[in-house]
Amino acid sequence: MALGNKEISRLALDVFGDELWNTGGLTELEDYLASNYRNHQLPDVRGGESVLDTDEWRKLLSDFHQGFSGARLEILGQVAEGDYVATRWRMTAKNVAEFAGNPATGRSTTWTGTSTDRFDGAKLAETWVNWDKYSYLAELDLI
């Protein structure tokens, strides 16, 4: 059975969680990504804004899973309209190794965000991510 846009958006977010990451969810997700997929991060975890292609986004996921354990993503709400899906979410994870130039803190952090996905046919073509970087950094005691 083919996945709908909402399910693909959930899958794209769930790859940050440990369970789906460890069961090959990223490989499954790649079947639903457009060849020219772009991921806009605002703010980027390293500062500023960035636009990631598929390989850069995959690297961000890998770095995140090396730097954090127990990652759990909770979908708080989702709305679909035409070729767009907006998802509000909450992430919780424990920082166990260096990530994005910051040392491991051994602390857990929780932050919220919103992802807006644009689809081109049945493929995820573009994502805009806005997230609460302040809460993320504050709970890690990095600010």
- As a whole number of angstroms, the distance between CA 114 and CA 130 comes to 5
CATH topology of domain 5-139: Nuclear Transport Factor 2; Chain: A, (3.10.450)
- pTM for the model stands at 0.87
Q: What was the pLDDT predicted at 25? A: 61
Token pair belonging to 65: 């899973």
In the sheet with 84-95, reading across from the earlier edge strand, the strands are 50-53, 33-42, 123-131, 108-120, 84-95, 68-81
Q: What was the pLDDT predicted at 90? A: 94
Confidence of residue 19 (pLDDT cuts 50, 70, 90): low
| Alpha carbon separation from 31 to 6, 16, 38, 117, 125 (Å, rounded) | 15, 17, 15, 16, 12
Within 13 A of 26's CA, how many CA atoms are on the CB side? 15
Other CB atoms within 10 Å distance of the CB of residue 130: 14
Confidence of residue 31 (pLDDT cuts 50, 70, 90): confident
Residue 24 has pLDDT above 60, yes or no: no
Q: What was the pLDDT predicted at 2? A: 75
Q: What was the pLDDT predicted at 97? A: 95
Phi then psi for residue 95, to 5 deg, are: -80, 110
Q: What was the pLDDT predicted at 109? A: 93
pLDDT tens digits, one per residue of 93-130 = 999 999 988 999 999 999 999 999 999 988 999 999 99
Confidence of residue 8 (pLDDT cuts 50, 70, 90): confident
Sequence spans of domains, the chain: 5-139
- As a whole number of angstroms, the distance between CA 90 and CA 17 comes to 11
